[in-house]
């Protein structure tokens, strides 16, 4: 049997402990996240191995022969398949399912400015909102989105337009349909010539 190596980048979840020594200044944010509908998706910890991530992406295909469409793959010899609705169930995001509220890039930028964002409007070639331009509390929320939900694992300090929109809708109490966003990025990854091993939803590994 192959040695299973712990995948550090995919085992990142939020430690939402307001009594932690490093929680000073973020207690209100932590309480809010603990009571939110994304609490399970960002904080539930599972052990994920590099081999399983590689297995998944090497064999993942989109199956449209049955509706709704589903992603099918094989991990460690086991066949798996899931739909967008399955993602919502696994990540306990059923309350977020539905038509997400639309926001243009300008509206997202305006909402971030209202929240204290001090950076310039990103250019069209790299539509990314940099975390360091946010005030402390918002920077914490953005960090949680980057490390626990964003499809790019590690090496980034910003949110692209989709994830920045999702964060602002969440903070407004509006639907962002994170399961749909996640599923679509997984489909995008399947269709790329070089399958990036950098995206794996923790809950799928159960």
pLDDT digits (tens, 9 = 90+) for 136-174: 999 999 999 988 888 876 557 889 999 999 999 999 999
Residue 182 falls inside a structural domain: no
The C-alpha atoms of residue 182 and residue 101 are separated, in whole angstroms, by 16
The C-alpha atoms of residue 80 and residue 85 are separated, in whole angstroms, by 15
Stretch among 8-12, 77-81, 189-193 having the lowest mean pLDDT: 8-12
The C-alpha atoms of residue 44 and residue 41 are separated, in whole angstroms, by 6
Let me know whether 2 and 93 are in one domain: yes
Residue 185 falls inside a structural domain: no
pLDDT at 18 over 90: yes
Let me know whether 52 and 81 are in one domain: yes
3 state SS for 171-198: HHCCCCCHHHHHHHHHHHHHCCCCCCCC
Residue 153 falls inside a structural domain: yes
Let me know whether 71 and 152 are in one domain: no
Whole-model pTM: value is 0.85
Residue-wise pLDDT for 58-111, tens only, equals 999 999 998 999 999 999 899 999 999 999 999 999 888 887 888 999 999 999
Residue 70 lies in domain: 1-98+193-206
How many structural domains does the chain have? 2
């Amino acid at each position: 049997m192959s040695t299973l190596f712990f995948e550090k980048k995919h085992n990142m979840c939020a430690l939402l402990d307001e009594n932690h020594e490093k929680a000073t200044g973020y207690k209100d944010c932590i309480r809010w996240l603990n009571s939110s509908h994304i609490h399970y998706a960002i904080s539930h910890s599972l052990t994920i191995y590099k081999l399983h991530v590689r297995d998944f992406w090497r064999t993942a295909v989109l199956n449209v022969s049955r509706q709704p469409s589903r992603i099918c793959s094989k991990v460690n010899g086991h066949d798996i398949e899931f739909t967008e609705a399955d993602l919502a169930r696994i990540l306990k995001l059923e309350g977020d399912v539905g038509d997400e509220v639309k926001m243009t890039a300008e509206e997202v930028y305006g909402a971030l400015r209202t929240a204290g964002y001090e950076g310039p409007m990103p250019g069209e070639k790299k539509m990314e909102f940099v975390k360091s331009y946010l005030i402390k509390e918002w920077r914490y929320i953005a960090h949680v989105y980057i490390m626990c939900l964003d499809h790019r694992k590690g090496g980034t300090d910003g949110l692209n337009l989709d994830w920045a929109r999702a964060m602002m809708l969440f903070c407004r109490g509006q639907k962002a349909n994170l399961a749909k966003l996640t599923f679509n990025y997984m489909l995008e990854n399947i269709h790329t010539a070089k399958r990036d091993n950098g995206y794996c939803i923790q809950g799928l590994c159960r």
